[in-house]
């Protein structure tokens, strides 16, 4: 056994701040209250249901993850957040139409207590959206200071010991890293000058990191994935994670693609299409927001299949991703994948996947896990990029000179080995020769 890392206990309450109180956020908050009341199970959450094997297969030690590492308990969570609409979380959850009214009514008081604070919002970054609950300020730096005031006020009023901030707001337009993002110094000057290179989500990220609290991005927009904010995270000791929750179609892709590659089956085409009708779908109906999502969804196959190592199998792959806004489906997305495979002696085959999923039902448990693990990372003194949380994201933030790991099963192994490492347990390599010696 190696030495375990010092981890401060999860004492007191943990505040989860959500920038954007839409479908995902309200499904998370309602879910946590429903679970606390024993009305439902935390299905889909690794922190609540997952186990971790320790030692040899013959040892019979597989505790629950939440008994193995000190995580905040659901009873200790307090929620707050911002939105451009004034609806409280009960109204917002009713509008989102993800959860049944009968369940929402049983946690109505708790949801009504979460009233969104005015948001930092600029329509030039989310074209299809506009709302009244928005801050005004002399500059983007001033807006960041207002967010910091909200955070401090919440900390004081709720008596929370620790905080985490997660962007669950709409997908912003596609942006690339530019000079304003390259150093903290340049970023702060750009904030002062209200430079268009700083979208709203970056202002939230900056405010969180400046307050020394962990930040994650559930959406695909650039947000904290820039050198300036990585620098700030290291400076303020805050853990960082993102981007774009891995749910639905991409989750399936990162399960199936590693299997095809493992058997050295070629892929000549992968056509993915979706219909969805929630507000997220409406926002993605704008080509600039869609481009942000498309880039995030498309990158996974290249990294998993490694065409540079297997040119004959994957070099000519045609990968197409479409999302169509179709209101009758609401949050209940339907995805179709057609995969054109190539087998022995180049014989073609096809695989079809039709996934009738529920976006926010898949997303809520992973926002919970990300929040609890970021809080753990903070207490364990881990700052900056948390690559071990790649498991949860379509476009995992990673050190610039490393390629990201997209294979869901490698990501899970990395996550569990990080937990073993934190507790000084032996890492599991799955070698297994020792059982036969
Ligand atoms: N549900 C999933 O499976 C999933 C998966 C990956 C990523 N995401 C991303 O997570 C985000 C949230 O998804 P959702 O389904 O809850 O969307 P949603 O449209 O229901 O909620 C987003 C909320 O953010 C608010 N908002 C927008 N800009 C804001 C700002 N600047 N400040 C504060 N609030 C702001 C909107 O008013 C809205 O209420 C989206 O960007 C989506 O692309 C979702």
DSSP assignment string, 2-60: PPPPP-----S-EEEEEE--SHHHHHHHHHHHHHHTTSS--TT-HHHH-B--BS-TTT-
Contact 390, 396 (CB under 8 A): yes
Q: Is the CB of 81 under 6 A from ligand 1?
A: no
pLDDT of residue 291: 86
119 within ligand 1 shell (Cβ under 6 A): yes
**Distance (Å, whole) CA 375 – CA 155:** 15
Distances (CA, A) of 238 to 163, 180, 241, 374: 11, 21, 10, 9
CA of 291 to the centre of ligand 1 (A): 16
DSSP bridge partners of 321 = 272
Domain 249-356 CATH superfamily: Dihydrodipicolinate Reductase; domain 2 (3.30.360.10)
Q: Which residues pair with 274 in a beta bridge?
A: 323, 335
> Ligand 1 mean position to 147 CA, how many Å?
18
Residue among 24, 144, 216, 243 whose CB has most ligand 1 atoms within 8 A, to mutate: 24
| Cα-only R_g, the chain | 22
| Closest Cα to atom 40 of ligand 1 | 170
Q: Beta strand 239-241 with 318-325: parallel, antiparallel or unpaired?
A: unpaired
Which ligand 1 atom sits closest to the C-alpha of 282?
19
Question: Distance from the CA of 324 to the center of ligand 1, in angstroms?
Answer: 17
What are the backbone dihedrals phi and psi of residue 137, each rounded to the nearest 5 degrees, phi first? -165, 165
pLDDT at 1 over 60: no
170 alpha carbon – ligand 1 mean position (Å): 4
**Is the CB of 331 within 6 Å of ligand 1?**
no
- Whole-number Å distance between alpha carbons of 133 and 170: 15
For ligand 1, whether the C-beta of 98 sits within 6 Å is no
Token pair for residue 423? 């507790």
Dist. CA 280 → ligand 1 center (Å): 6
Is the CB of residue 362 below 6 angstroms from any atom belonging to ligand 1?
yes
User: Is the model's pLDDT at 106 over the cut of 70?
Assistant: yes
Q: State yes or no: pLDDT of 140 exceeds 60.
A: yes
Nearest protein CA to atom 18 of ligand 1, as residue: 22
Give residue 196's pLDDT. 98
Q: Which position has the token pair 């969804």?
A: 297
CA of 336 to the centre of ligand 1 (A): 23
Contacts of 307 (CB under 8 A, 6+ apart): 313, 314, 315, 317
Predicted confidence band of residue 79 (pLDDT cuts 50, 70, 90): very high
- The verdict on the CB of residue 332 being under 6 Å from ligand 1 is no
pLDDT band at 2 (very low <50, low <70, confident <90, very high): low
Mean of per-residue pLDDT scores for the chain: 95
Cβ of residue 126 lying under 6 Å from some atom of ligand 1: yes
The answer to whether residue 286 scores a pLDDT higher than 90 is no
Pull the structure tokens for residue 266. Answer: 């070629």
When pLDDT is averaged across residues 370-377 and rounded to a whole number, the result is 98
CB 290 near ligand 1, within 6 Å: no
Report, at the CATH architecture level, how domain 14-245+361-422 is classified.
Answer: 3-Layer(aba) Sandwich (3.40)
Evaluate if residue 380 carries a pLDDT over 60: yes
169 lines ligand 1 (CB under 6 A): yes
Q: What's the pLDDT at 297?
A: 76
The answer to whether the CB of 274 is under 6 A from ligand 1 is no
Provide mean pLDDT across the span 281-291: 85
Cβ atoms within 10 Å, residue 192: 13
341 CA to centre of ligand 1 in angstroms: 35
pLDDT at 330 over 90: no
Per-residue pLDDT, averaged over 264-287, amounts to: 90
Does 391 contact ligand 1 (Cβ within 6 A)?
no
Question: CB of 117 closer than 6 A to ligand 1?
Answer: no
CA distance 9 to 321: 44
Q: In which band, very low, low, confident or very high, does the pLDDT at 294 lie, cut at 50, 70 and 90?
A: confident
- Ligand 1 centre from 363 Cα, in Å? 11
Between 289 and 178, the higher pLDDT residue: 178
Residue listed under structure tokens 């049983």: 106
pLDDT band at 422 (very low <50, low <70, confident <90, very high): very high
- pLDDT higher than threshold 80 for residue 311: yes
Q: Using one digit for the tens of pLDDT, what is the confidence trace for 52-71?
A: 999 999 999 999 999 999 99
**Ligand 1 within 6 A of 335 CB?**
no
User: Which residue's CA lies nearest to atom 9 of ligand 1?
Assistant: 219
The mean pLDDT of 270-296, rounded to a whole number, is 86
- 320 forms bridges with which residues in the sheet? 271
Q: Report which ligand 1 atom has the smallest distance to the Cα of 81.
A: 33
Q: Is the CB of 245 under 6 A from ligand 1?
A: yes
118 token code pair: 């005015």
24 C-alpha to ligand 1 centroid (Å)? 7
- 219 CA distance to ligand 1 centroid (A)? 7
pLDDT digits (tens, 9 = 90+) for 6-28: 999 999 999 999 999 999 999 99
279 lines ligand 1 (CB under 6 A): yes
Q: Kindly state if the Cβ of 368 falls inside 6 Å of ligand 1.
A: no
| In the chain, where the domains are located | 14-245+361-422, 249-356
How many angstroms does the Cα of residue 181 sit away from the middle of ligand 1?
A: 23
């Amino acid at each position: 056994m190696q030495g375990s890392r010092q981890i401060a206990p999860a004492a007191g309450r943990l505040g989860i701040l959500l920038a954007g109180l839409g479908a995902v956020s309200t499904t998370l908050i309602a879910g946590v209250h429903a679970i606390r009341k024993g009305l439902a199970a935390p299905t889909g959450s690794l922190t609540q249901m997952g186990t971790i094997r320790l030692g040899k297969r013959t040892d019979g030690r597989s505790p629950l993850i939440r008994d193995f590492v000190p995580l905040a308990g659901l009873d200790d969570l307090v929620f707050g957040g911002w939105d451009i609409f004034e609806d409280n979380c009960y109204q917002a959850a009713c509008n989102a139409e993800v959860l049944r009214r009968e369940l929402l009514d049983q946690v109505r008081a708790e949801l009504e207590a979460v009233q969104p604070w005015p948001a930092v919002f600029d329509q030039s970054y989310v074209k299809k959206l506009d709302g009244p609950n928005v801050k005004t300020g002399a500059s983007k730096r001033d807006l960041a200071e207002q967010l910091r005031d909200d955070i401090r006020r919440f900390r004081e009023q709720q008596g929370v010991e620790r905080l985490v901030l997660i962007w669950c707001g709409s997908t912003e337009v596609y942006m690339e890293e530019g000079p304003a993002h390259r150093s903290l110094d340049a970023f702060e000057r750009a904030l002062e000058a209200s430079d268009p290179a700083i979208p709203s989500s970056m202002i939230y990220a900056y405010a969180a990191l400046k307050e020394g609290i962990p930040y994650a991005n559930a959406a695909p927009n650039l947000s904290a994935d820039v050198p300036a904010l990585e620098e700030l995270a290291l400076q303020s000791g805050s853990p960082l994670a993102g981007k774009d929750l891995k749910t639905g179609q991409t989750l399936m892709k990162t399960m199936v693609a590693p299997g095809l590659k493992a058997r050295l089956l070629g892929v000549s085409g992968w056509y993915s299409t979706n219909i969805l009708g929630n507000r997220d779908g409406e926002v993605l109906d704008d080509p600039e927001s869609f481009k942000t999502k498309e880039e995030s969804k498309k990158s996974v196959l290249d990294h998993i299949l490694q065409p540079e190592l297997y040119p004959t199998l994957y070099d000519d792959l045609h990968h197409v991703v479409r999302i169509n806004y179709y209101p009758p489906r609401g949050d209940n997305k339907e995805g179709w994948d057609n995969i054109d495979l190539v087998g022995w002696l180049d014989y073609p085959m096809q695989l079809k996947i039709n996934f009738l999923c529920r976006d926010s039902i898949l997303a809520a448990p992973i926002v919970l896990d990300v929040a609890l693990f970021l809080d753990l990372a903070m207490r364990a003194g881990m700052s900056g990029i948390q690559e071990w949380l790649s498991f949860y994201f379509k476009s995992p933030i990673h050190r610039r000179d490393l390629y990201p790991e997209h294979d869901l099963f490698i990501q899970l192994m990395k996550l569990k080995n990080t937990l073993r490492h934190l507790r000084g347990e032996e890492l599991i390599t799955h070698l297994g020769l020792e059982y036969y010696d």
